Every structure is written in C-alpha cells, then in structure tokens.
C-alpha cells in the first residue's frame, strides 16, 4: 500500500468522533468543523467524492441541556440527539456553503440497511448526492433508534457506509494519534503502529478498552470498522483529527496515523449486504463435516449437518452458522423457518417433504446466499 491511502482514492468516507466535534464535550467546536470542511473542499477540488460521517449530536445536545455525563436512559439520549442535531447540521451547512459546497443530512438506522430494498434505496440516494457534488453528512438516527436497530457507534456506521457506496478509503479521525501497541494513556512504552493489515487478530487484542465519557466507541471499534471496510476493498486510516491539514497530507502521500490495508477478497454486492448484518434472527450449530463443507469445499448448508437451532426466525431471515467451538463461521439467508428447521435438522434432504409435507429448497442455506466469516 502506498503511503497515504487517499492518494489514489476517488471516493472517501471521513468519520469524525464526538470528542473532536464537541471539543471534549464543551460544545460544538466550530473552528474544527470549519477546518474539516475546508479540507473536504480541497479534496473536492481534486476530483474526489467525500462522505462525512459525523458524531456529535448527542454530545452537542448534552452541552445545550447542561448534562455533564452521557445519560443511560434511551429517551434521554434521544432527546439529547434531537436538541443537538439542530446545531450540528447548521454548523456543517454554514461552513460548507461558505466554501461553495452543498451539503445534505442523511440519518440512518441499521433497519435501513438490513432490509434489502431500503439498503438499495439508501445506496441510490447517496450516489445521487455524490453525482450532484453534494457532501452527505451522515449520522445514526438517534432520535428514533432502539437497541434492536442501532449500529452501536459511528465507527461501525462509517464502515457500513464505506461498503454501501464502495468507497476506496475510510478515514477515522479521533482524539488519538492512531493505533498504539498499548493504551498510551496508561502505558508510557506504547508505540504507534504506522501500518498493518485490517483484520489482523493481534490488532484487536491490543486495542481493547472503552473510549471517552463523551463518545461510545474506543480504539477496538475503529479496528473492527477497518476490518469491516476491508470486505469491500477499502483501506482505512486512523488518525488524529487535531493534526493540521490531516486529510490534505494523506492525499499528498504523507504517512499520518495508522494505515490498515485491505487484504481480504472483495465480496460481491449481495454477500457484502449479508456480511453487514449486525442483528441476526437466530443461529444454527453445525457439525464438523458441515463446517468443512462450508469453509473448505464452498458447499451449501444441508439440514443433515445441523445439530442445534436457536432463536425464532422466518424463511428468508439472516441466521448465523456456528461451529462446535461456538465460533461464527458463516451467515446466510435461511430457506426454512425456525420451527421447520428444528424438525428437519440431522435429517437427509430426501426426508424434508415427508417430514414437513412440502419442500421449499433442498438446501437449508444455499451457497449463493451465504457468506463466510
């Protein structure tokens, strides 16, 4: 990977964290927002398309409401988001307009991306905005989100947007200089990792721990976001949003922060949608033979290979395939409801019709509707 993942990138997703947007919770940092807007305008002038995923609505609302600590109650979080979103969007709109750029607010929940039709609608909307030269400012729709439909943090949302629009690069701007070998706030010997491969398990082990009291994430969510973005071939940079002209320097090829290269095969669009499901309706445990058939032979999942069924799901839902050690090895669209799956588990495909009185498909999950982890 060349130094500076933005050098050749044409479409870029930039994510800025709550602590940056709100100056560690003191209120919207208008000077910082102006700096990022200016850099994005320069990227536009170079012919690059930029999507901005911005945290800060809840944190800005907390400041406006005089709350010092992030509330735990969902209705309070939603109220803070509703209050803070007004100022956040106004700040971006004003700064981009002063630079001759139009911007658009896009609010998403996981439900918008879990449904295939809504996923394609969101994709088409974002592509249209980019074609029109508009900067999409994207956030989770915190005013209506619930535990069942939330992304969990904007690092994850940024990775999903990266995959959704098939961006070339994801830049996660944070209050840290990048990914370190240990938490630099606790270990003076920690060293900055300048380059690594997205999805390397050692990165996850060294990046555990929570973020600030303002945001929800931490370095682990950024490492996992890079792993997810790599599924569509995007490289990721984790860098300090307080570095002067960080986006411009990356575009010029300077090594800033941590660069995590994508080294995994790019998934097809449909399988990428499957891989991006955060909430699963259920799971099936498979025996060693079925696990080998899925992972090594590229086969479909047959009923005979299923030893246990958990959850309640309908035909067409996304379910997880678990091996004997409890690890998720794959996920896919299942052809039978949970009650039916329990009846035909451990049975031959030839027995399906006699057991159920009908046969939808010979496979429990067809390999075309299945993606490996």
Domain spans in the chain, listed from the N-terminal domain onward:
11-271, 280-372
- Global pTM value: 0.84
- What's the pLDDT at 112? 86
Could you say which of 3.90.280.10, 3.40.1160.10, 3.40.1350.10, 3.30.1370.100 is the CATH number of the domain covering 11-271? Answer: 3.40.1160.10
> What is d(CA 274, CA 367) in angstroms, rounded to the nearest whole number?
12
Structure tokens at 275: 């891989």
> What is d(CA 20, CA 28) in angstroms, rounded to the nearest whole number?
9
- What's the pLDDT at 264? 78
Instruction: Name every residue whose Cβ is closer than 8 Å to that of residue 171 and which is 6 or more positions away in sequence.
Output: 5, 6, 12, 13, 14, 15, 236, 237, 239, 247, 250
Fold of 280-372: 2.30.130
* Count of alpha carbons within 13 angstroms of residue 191, beta-carbon side: 3
Within the chain, which residues score under 50 in pLDDT? 1-2, 149, 209-216
CA 221 to chain centre: 9
- What's the pLDDT at 298? 94
Rounded to the nearest 10 degrees, the angle between the axes of helix 74-98 and helix 30-45 is: 50
Helical H segments across 102-145, by residue range: 110-114, 116-131
Please, what is the Cα angle at 190 between 189 and 194, to 5 degrees? 135
- What's the pLDDT at 3? 56
Structure tokens at 127: 């592509």
> What is d(CA 325, CA 322) in angstroms, rounded to the nearest whole number?
8
H or E stretch covering 52:
strand 49-54
- What's the pLDDT at 18? 86
The three-state secondary structure class of 341 is: helix
- What's the pLDDT at 22? 87
Name the average pLDDT for the chain. 90
* Neighbour tally for 177: CB within 10 Å: 16
CA 199 to chain centre: 14
Structure tokens at 242: 């307080």
Tens-digit pLDDT profile for residues 192-215:
999 999 999 889 888 764 444 444
């Amino acid at each position: 990977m060349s130094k500076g993942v933005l050098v050749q990138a044409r479409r870029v997703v930039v994510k800025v964290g709550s602590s940056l947007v709100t100056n560690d919770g003191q209120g919207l940092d208008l000077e910082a927002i102006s700096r990022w807007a200016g850099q994005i305008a320069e990227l536009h002038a170079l012919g690059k398309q930029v999507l901005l995923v911005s945290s800060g609505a809840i944190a800005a609302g907390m400041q406006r409401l005089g709350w010092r600590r992030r509330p735990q109650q969902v209705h309070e979080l939603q109220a803070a988001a509703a209050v803070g979103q007004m100022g956040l969007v106004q700040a971006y709109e004003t700064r981009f307009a002063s630079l001759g750029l139009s911007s658009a607010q896009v609010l998403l929940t996981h439900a918008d991306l879990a449904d295939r039709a809504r996923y394609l609608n969101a994709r088409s909307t974002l592509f249209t905005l980019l074609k029109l030269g508009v900067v999409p400012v994207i956030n989770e729709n915190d005013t209506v989100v619930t535990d069942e439909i939330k992304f969990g943090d904007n690092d994850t949302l940024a990775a999903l947007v990266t995959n959704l629009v098939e961006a070339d690069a994801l830049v996660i701007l944070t209050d840290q200089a990048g990914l370190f070998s240990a938490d630099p706030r606790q270990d003076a010997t920690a060293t900055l990792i300048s380059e690594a491969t997205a999805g390397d398990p050692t990165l996850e082990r060294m990046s555990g721990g929570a973020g600030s009291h303002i945001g929800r994430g931490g370095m682990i969510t950024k490492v996992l976001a890079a792993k997810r973005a790599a599924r569509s071939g995007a490289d990721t940079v984790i860098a300090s949003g307080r570095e002067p002209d960080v986006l411009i320097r990356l575009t010029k090829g300077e090594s800033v922060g941590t660069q995590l290269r994508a080294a995994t095969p790019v998934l097809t669009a449909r399988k990428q949608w499957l891989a991006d499901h955060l909430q699963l309706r259920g799971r099936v445990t498979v025996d060693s033979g079925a696990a080998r058939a899925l992972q090594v032979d590229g086969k479909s999942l047959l009923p005979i290979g299923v030893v246990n069924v958990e959850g309640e799901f309908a035909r067409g839902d996304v379910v997880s395939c678990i091996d004997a050690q409890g690890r998720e090895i794959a996920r896919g669209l299942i052809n039978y409801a949970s009650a039916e799956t329990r009846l035909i588990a451990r049975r031959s495909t030839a027995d399906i019709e006699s057991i159920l009185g009908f046969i939808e498909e010979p496979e429990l999950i067809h390999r075309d509707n299945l993606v490996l982890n």
